[in-house]
Amino acid sequence: MSQHSLLPSTITYQINRRKNHPRFVADVMLVMLSYMLAANFTNRTLQQVDVLIISGMGMGWYFSSKLTDLYNEFRTVTFIDEILALLPNLLTQFIVLVVSLFFLKDYDYTRSFTLAYVAVLGANVVLKMYSTRKIVRFWNLKGVNQRNLVIVGEMNQVDGFRDLVLRNPQFGYTILGAWGYKEPGRRTPPLLETIDFLNETSLGKVIDELVIAPSQFEESYVKGIISWADKKGILVRFTPGFFQFSASRYSLELFGNYPLITVRSTPLEMDSWWMLKRAFDVLFSAVFLVLVASWLFPLIALAIRWDSRGPVFFVQDRWGQRGRNIGVWKFRTMYHNASTVREDGGFNQTTQDDPRITKVGRFLRKTNLDELPQFINVLLGSMSVVGPRPHAVKHSLETLPKIDNYMIRHRLKPGITGWAQVNGFRGETQEIGLMRKRVDYDIWYIENWSLVLDFQIVLRTAYNMVKGDPKAF
């Protein structure tokens, strides 16, 4: 590999290191302060061994923050995403402290002290994050801490990126110049004209970052501009025609020495977030099954058996994650042996006033109580509390050829409730437009998942169960 090709990554590393260092040092100081405050709140007497424990907490914070990318550039990251990145670090602190106290056989105020420490540390770090954002935003809006930015590439891409920067002054960028070429009639971008523009723009000015925005990746064009930027030590970023694809999120990662761009990236591709969602699923479903299902399920079972003959539960084959078949548990709401196949051989969806539904079944469907046994699926790992709703196998096979991106909704585990459902897209979907809309909502959820969004969907689902959903039948 040539020397000049290493320069951009070296510059990025040095810049990120300078940004991360003060934020990391501040948080380590908060770790020490929170430890002492928690000891004071719980009347714990600090001893020499606590110095060793605090050192271990600092090391734990260092490694967990590295794994969770806690100190990534936060100019364009939302505050809630920064808090979500904090949660695994707090969990790590909890585990490190519990293990340390256990091996040191320090049992004085262990439970209250540990909980107090995590709570105080969380509050302190969140307050620091919020204050830092407010201060940086104030500086940026006042023109302090600005970065000089130049954008070159295809005109529509350049205009779109420039508008994004101008609409968000809190990002802290000043646009020194923007130059775009028109695509029609030109097979290759005008490299020489772009270089002339860059030379003129850089006269007497310092360019901090250069964004290359071609409509498609043109190797000679991008390579030529990077070569020019390398000679001046300018950080280079580029957006190679992403906007032509129907996706809202992308991520870049290194596969060995090869940079790979992921289309439709989701936070749940990171192990830390996947584990957090799984922990939420297990805890939520276990609490529900113990505190609610233990008395509610027998009452529903008695009502079903009183209303009609047949089993209480109904297990249906549906598509799960990656299209694998899973058995989804439900309370039986139809008469026993009711057919799900139409006369033409197609899947017979449930319709309003469907004669196959029993009296008790109609109430269970209206209130969504028929779906509650799926918490068993969640506990066993084939489903999640929140996710795209699983469809029957035959229904999925019929829908697959009608909607090109249908399988994207199966990248995650299916859920008991979902983003599409709380936005009114549930029940019968005979129209292709409604099918596509439901899939669009599922894909948006996959690309924009957060634990806060899951909580929001659960609350809206509970509200709809009480209020009643006109599309629930």
pLDDT tens-digit readout, 234-273: 888 887 665 555 566 666 665 556 666 666 667 787 767 8
Mean pLDDT of all residues in 301-325: 89
Q: What does the pLDDT read at residue 249?
A: 64
Report which of residues 44 and 416 the model is more confident about.
416
**Range in 27-31, 61-65, 99-103, 146-150 with the lowest mean pLDDT:** 99-103
Report which of residues 166 and 14 the model is more confident about.
166
pLDDT grade for 5, boundaries at 50, 70 and 90: very low
Q: Which of 1, 16, 8 is nearest to 222 (CA)?
A: 8
- The gap from C-alpha 366 to its chain's centroid, in whole angstroms, comes to 31
Distance CA 338, CA 334 (A): 6
Q: What does the pLDDT read at residue 10?
A: 35
Sign of torsion over alpha carbons 137, 205, 23, 258: positive
Q: Are 323 and 345 in contact (CB under 8 A)?
A: no
Hunting for tokens 């028929």 — which residue is that?
370
Write out pLDDT tens, residues 269-308: 776 788 889 999 999 999 999 999 999 999 999 999 998 8
The residues near 307 (Cβ < 8 Å, ≥ 6 apart) are: 358, 359, 360, 361
Q: What does the pLDDT read at residue 330?
A: 92
Distance CA 319, CA 406 (A): 12
Does the pLDDT of residue 15 top 50, yes or no?
Answer: no
The residues near 207 (Cβ < 8 Å, ≥ 6 apart) are: 148, 149, 150, 176, 198, 201, 232, 234
Report which of residues 120 and 188 the model is more confident about.
120
What is the secondary structure of 208-232 as a DSSP string?
-EEEEE-SS--HHHHHHHHHHHHHH
% of the chain surpassing 90 pLDDT: 21
Residues in the chain: 473
Does the pLDDT of residue 123 top 90, yes or no?
Answer: yes
Does the pLDDT of residue 19 top 60, yes or no?
Answer: no
Report which of residues 224 and 351 the model is more confident about.
224
Does the pLDDT of residue 317 top 80, yes or no?
Answer: yes
Residue 431: left if φ>0, alpha if ψ -120 to 50, beta else—which one? beta
Considering the chain, what is the average pLDDT of its residues? 80
Distance CA 455, CA 385 (A): 10
CA angle 464, 465, 469 (to 5 degrees): 55
Q: Are 155 and 181 in contact (CB under 8 A)?
A: yes
48-68 exposure pattern, b = at least 16 Cβ within 10 A, e = fewer:
eebeebbeebbebbeebbeeb
Q: For residue 211, what are the β-bridge partners? A: 151, 237
Hunting for tokens 């009183």 — which residue is that?
306
Domain boundaries, the chain: 3-141, 147-244, 271-467
Pick the most confident of 94-98, 209-213, 292-296: 292-296
Does the pLDDT of residue 2 top 60, yes or no?
Answer: no
Does the pLDDT of residue 11 top 60, yes or no?
Answer: no
Distance CA 151, CA 164 (A): 12
Q: What does the pLDDT read at residue 341?
A: 61
Report which of residues 95 and 172 the model is more confident about.
95
Q: Are 173 and 127 in contact (CB under 8 A)?
A: no
If you ran DSSP here, which 8-state letter would residue 334 be given?
A: B
Does the pLDDT of residue 3 top 50, yes or no?
Answer: no
Q: What does the pLDDT read at residue 295?
A: 94
What is the second-level CATH architecture of the domain 147-244?
3-Layer(aba) Sandwich (3.40)
Q: Which of 53, 65, 68 is nearest to 25 (CA)?
A: 65
Sign of torsion over alpha carbons 460, 463, 468, 473: positive
The residues near 409 (Cβ < 8 Å, ≥ 6 apart) are: 388, 439, 442, 443, 446
Q: What does the pLDDT read at residue 251?
A: 65
Distance CA 354, CA 333 (A): 11
Does the pLDDT of residue 424 top 90, yes or no?
Answer: no
